[in-house]
Amino acid sequence: MRIDKYLANMNVGSRKEVHQLIKKGVVAVNGKTVKTPKEKINENDVVTVNGEEIAYQKYHYFLLNKPKGVLSATEDRSQKTVISLLDSQDQYLPVGRLDKDTTGLLLLTNDGQLNHELLAPNKHVAKVYRAQITGVADEETAKTFASGMTLGDGTKLKPAKLKILKQDKENDTSEIEIEISEGKYHQIKRMFGAVGMKVTALDRRSMGNLHLPADLKRGKYVELSLDEVKNIK
């Protein structure tokens, strides 16, 4: 593998930033200063930046605050995807999907096993969303969701917890928080549609033990530590 790709994949920086580090002469392989970003390395080489060893890490986990208008996909010919928001262009996959107009927490990883563990139907991983609704959600709405709904097409849903944050009867709107343990197609939008309401904005706040940091801006991401990953598992 090329040294610039290796360092970018280990999240030392973007390819451009890595090239600058190499120009400064602070990148070394087996104690020898790297002269070109094209230099090839293997898994037995010792790579350092400013004297600090950059050990190989097989799996990476990124927590993204997904912006509106971006696809939860690896590639698309005409539209921007969540993968394009990462500095590293290695083989990462989104864990589950958020609709194009849905924002908030999205996990990206190259760990296929974790992807399976979080998405497997029998795992019942809780996901919490906040939403703006056209219509006034009330305690009857909460009871309907808590009982486990059957949608018009026969889709059966597990019980969901609805918390009403704000009601505006004059403007016929609500702000709510909802917790579900599955992820069927357009599930929350279909649930509110079934009770005569419409979701106008949807934002995922948490997934299992993973919570969206309050200071993480839209379109930005952080790499999770190994302790945080263990907490997810």
Q: What is the pLDDT of residues 56-72, one digit of tens each?
A: 888 889 999 999 999 99
The mean per-residue pLDDT over the stretch 168-172 comes to: 96
CA distances 196 to 102, 142, 201, 202, Å, are: 20, 14, 16, 17
CATH code of domain 61-107+213-232: 3.30.70.580
For residue 124, the model assigns a pLDDT of: 76
Q: Provide mean pLDDT across the span 207-211.
A: 90
Superfamily classification of domain 126-207? Alpha-L RNA-binding motif (3.30.70.1560)
- When pLDDT is cut at 50, 70 and 90, the band that residue 7 belongs to is very high
Mean pLDDT, rounded, for 87-110 = 88
Q: Residue range 184-202: average pLDDT?
A: 96
> What pLDDT sits at residue 227?
81
H/E element, 222: strand 221-223
The mean per-residue pLDDT over the stretch 103-120 comes to: 85
Q: Supply the pTM of this predicted model.
A: 0.83
Lowest average pLDDT, out of 137-146, 163-172, 218-227, goes to 218-227
Measure Cα distances from 218 to 102, 110, 210 in Å.
12, 22, 17
pLDDT (0 to 100) of residue 121: 65
Q: Could you give the angle at the alpha carbon of 11 between the alpha carbons of 59 and 32, nearest 5°?
A: 105
Residue 130 clears pLDDT 90, i.e. is over it: yes
Look at the domain 3-53 and name its fold: 3.10.290
Tell me what pLDDT residue 196 has: 97
- Which run of H or of E encompasses 232? helix 226-232
pLDDT band, residue 116 (cuts 50/70/90): confident
pLDDT tier, 172 (very low <50, low <70, confident <90, very high otherwise): very high
Q: Calculate mean pLDDT across residues 81-94.
A: 83
Domain locations along the chain: 3-53, 61-107+213-232, 126-207
- pLDDT for the residue 206: 95
Catalytic residue among 4, 76, 99, 138: 99
99 is catalytic: yes
Q: Does the pLDDT of residue 212 top 90, yes or no?
A: yes
What letters, b where the CB count within 10 A reaches 16 and e where it falls short, cover 33-65? ebeebebebeeeeebbbeeeebeeeeebbbbbb
SS3 50: coil
Q: Same CATH fold, 61-107+213-232 and 3-53?
A: no
89 has a pLDDT exceeding 80: no
Closest to 59 (Cα-Cα) out of 93, 17, 15, 84: 93
Average of per-residue pLDDT across 152-172: 96
